Amino acid sequence: KAGVTQTPRYLIKTRGQQVTLSCSPISGHRSVSWYQQTPGQGLQFLFEYFSETQRNKGNFPGRFSGRQFSNSRSEMNVSTLELGDSALYLCASSLEGFPDTQYFGPGTRLTVL
């Protein structure tokens, strides 16, 4: 089975712009979760989607949003980028749903200048 894929792998944006990241889960997995990873804060949970519905949400501002399509692919959008949004964004898919055993993608490294 193909693993979790994330595109793009690297992204450079400037403050105020918006960005959309994409994640394709393992075939058959209906749960997709998103995380932000920074050296100072570690791994922070953003949200989980299951069968196109947001089922779980972390403590991030409304600038962070997501959606899931009928084929389980998920997108995450960050509007009005800030310098502090520079991070590695990881996507994970799960067969049983968050927070059970998750399979992660390679991440998207976002740099905000």
Residues within the interface to another protein (CB under 8 A): 42-43, 45, 55-56, 88, 90, 92, 98-107, 109
Q: Least Å distance between CB 90 and another protein? A: 6
**CB under 8 Å, gap of 24 or more: what pairs does 63-66 form?**
66/34
Residue 83, helix vs strand vs coil: helix
List helix spans (H) across 1-113: none
Helix (H) or strand (E) holding 34: strand 31-38
Q: How far apart are CA 80 and CA 6, in angstroms?
A: 22
Q: Least Å distance between CB 16 and another protein? A: 26
Say if CB 13 and CB 111 are below 8 A apart.
Answer: yes
Nearer to another protein, 79 or 95 (CB): 95
Q: Which residue has the tokens 């299951």?
A: 50
Q: Least Å distance between CB 43 and another protein? A: 4
Nearer to another protein, 59 or 70 (CB): 59
Q: Least Å distance between CB 7 and another protein? A: 14
